[in-house]
Structure 1
Amino acid sequence: MKFFMLLGMLVFCNASPQDLTGKMFTFPQQTNTARVKLRTTQNTFEAVTVCLRSFTDLTRNHGLFSMSIPSDANAFLIFKPEAARQIRLWRGSTSHVNFDGKEYNLNTWQDVCSTWDSKTGLGQLWLDGRPTSRKFLKSEMIKGTPMILIGQEQDSHGGGFDAAQSFVGMMTDVHMWNYVLSSCEIQRYMNDLNFSPGNVLNWRALDFETVGKVVLEDNQKGCA
């Protein structure tokens, strides 16, 4: 009886959110399996802001952040195409925009934030503190149980992975909000100042599961 009580406690502890301050996920090789599932109880989104920091030497297509719902594999997707100065934002499998003219530098930490609001349908990208033009995507709320992944891009709800679109590199400070962050708050995030952590996904209290070859290790962003 004591054994089963202890086992239950261990399972509960492992399932508890963790403070990943000073940590990063490393995806060391190209696969169609390695990924991190990011869990939330939220299942309706009138708006979205996602911020993360990534480090990679990839020049091919790769996903940075993938959220699907049962009815839409690309409910909210931040995607880096092969084109050197372009990042693509999907809000639904039939609605995407390209943000051009942005230097996505290799082998350096990049701060990426994307926003979208169902009231206007407008999406925007911020890269290293610099915003793009706002562009129309889709003015329809996201409704459904989300599957949120980093490391893989979903072509079906929780699946359909393609190794040739997998992320290889390091990622840290992943936050998600169910509203559009103000430009000042985005700047505070990018400058690593005191900002309001994500109310959907919070790196300081993250509920996650790693699958395949993913390493959680100390951050290498540099010394203060």
Structure 2
Amino acid sequence: MSALYTISVLFAVAVFKSQCQSSCDLNSCRLQVVCDSDGTGHTRNSEKCPQTAYNFPGGKQTTDFIRVKSPIPQMREFSICAWMTPKSGSNVKGAFVSYSTPRMDNAFLVFFEDGNKLTLWYNQVNSGDTTDFRMTTRTHFCISLETFLGTAKIYVNGALFQTRTFSNQRNEIEGGGGFIIGQEQDSYVGGFDGSQSFAGVIENFMMWNRALSPEEITTLYQGRCLCPKYHMLHLALHEIQVYGKVTAQEVDGCH
């Protein structure tokens, strides 16, 4: 390899990194260099967490939910994190996240069943795991899905709880669907069942279009004011439609 060739390659890499970091658009830069990267694809910097909290009063009804208005892109991987507090004296129950498309009612679903079970669906495939899952107090919950591996990692209070595998499923999740919090969709943005509604409080719900690292998730749990950079979604009022008796609650801001 000539010295001139080596210099040219190093110059091109430097220019690309400079362009990526100056206008950090993950959709265009992520496959080569993650902006503010530590060299392994993990961001080393944080940003201030947007503070949100919504109370779902519960009861057997189909009227209480949040629908995300912002368009959902096609996703190869993503992470969702939030603080959840079940209703007093009960275990967490109901639909946390339900994402459907015109072709798939369970494009992605996180559902807490009766009997202390956590059910995950991805592109109509159930992970099939029946591990007990209990959440009776305020808990930090994260899930990261990597479609190219067919795996989902579940984190509870900053630590890895379990890895789920989806047999023979490696397709990306289709974009442009209906993203619902608090109800389970049996049809596109509909088909709700009152017995499957969520009850409790969801705080600081955030979504990234990549799989967060274990270190990022631990840091997110330990400090509510700092979050991994470049989230694609949080529950700002201008990005969502609130239905029924779901109410926004005041939270202590991070100044």
Q: TM-score range by the shorter chain?
A: 0.7 to 0.9
Greater RCO between the two (CA within 8 Å, min separation 6)? 1
- Please give the residue correspondences for 1:49-198 in structure 2 after superposition, counting only pairs within 5 Å: 49-57=79-87, 58-59=90-91, 61-84=93-116, 86-98=117-129, 100-102=131-133, 104-106=134-136, 108-137=137-166, 138-191=169-222, 192=224, 194-197=226-229
Report the counterpart of residue 202 of structure 1 in structure 2.
234
**Aligned equivalents of 2:193, 2:230: Cα separation in 1:** 29
**Aligned equivalents of 2:104, 2:237: Cα separation in 1:** 27
**Aligned equivalents of 1:203, 1:60: Cα separation in 2:** 20
Report the counterpart of residue 35 of structure 1 in structure 2.
65
Q: Which has the higher strand share?
A: 1
Q: Which amino acid aligns with 2:248?
A: L
TM score, norm. by length of structure 2: 0.70
Report the counterpart of residue 25 of structure 1 in structure 2.
54
Residues 158 and 220 in structure 2, CA contact (< 8 A), matched pair in contact too: no
**Aligned equivalents of 2:119, 2:76: Cα separation in 1:** 20
- Summarize the Cα distance change of 1:54–1:68 in structure 2 as closer, same or farther, 3 Å threshold: same
- Summarize the Cα distance change of 1:88–1:197 in structure 2 as closer, same or farther, 3 Å threshold: farther
- Summarize the Cα distance change of 1:205–1:196 in structure 2 as closer, same or farther, 3 Å threshold: farther
Q: Which amino acid aligns with 2:176?
A: T
Which segment drifts farther, 89-98 or 161-170? 89-98
Runs (5+) with no aligned partner, structure 2: 1-47
- Summarize the Cα distance change of 1:205–1:213 in structure 2 as closer, same or farther, 3 Å threshold: closer
**Aligned equivalents of 2:130, 2:221: Cα separation in 1:** 19
- Summarize the Cα distance change of 1:188–1:20 in structure 2 as closer, same or farther, 3 Å threshold: closer
- Summarize the Cα distance change of 1:198–1:125 in structure 2 as closer, same or farther, 3 Å threshold: farther
Superposed displacement of residue 60, structure 1: 7.7
Which segment drifts farther, 166-175 or 185-194? 185-194
Report the counterpart of residue 10 of structure 1 in structure 2.
none
- Summarize the Cα distance change of 1:198–1:62 in structure 2 as closer, same or farther, 3 Å threshold: farther
Q: Which has the larger radius of gyration?
A: 2
**Aligned equivalents of 2:49, 2:158: Cα separation in 1:** 23
Aligned residue-pair number? 200
TM score, norm. by length of structure 1: 0.79
Residues 61 and 164 in structure 1, CA contact (< 8 A), matched pair in contact too: no
Deviation by residue 1:125-161 (Cα, 9 ceiling, x = unmatched): 1112221332321211011312111111111110010
- Summarize the Cα distance change of 1:120–1:23 in structure 2 as closer, same or farther, 3 Å threshold: closer
Residues 52 and 205 in structure 2, CA contact (< 8 A), matched pair in contact too: no
Which segment drifts farther, 149-158 or 204-213? 204-213
Superposed displacement of residue 200, structure 1: 2.3
**Aligned equivalents of 2:237, 2:244: Cα separation in 1:** 22
Superposed displacement of residue 44, structure 1: 0.5
Superposed displacement of residue 101, structure 1: 4.6
% same residue: 23
Report the counterpart of residue 16 of structure 1 in structure 2.
none
Superposed displacement of residue 219, structure 1: 3.2
Give the alignment's Cα RMSD to 1 decimal.
Answer: 2.5
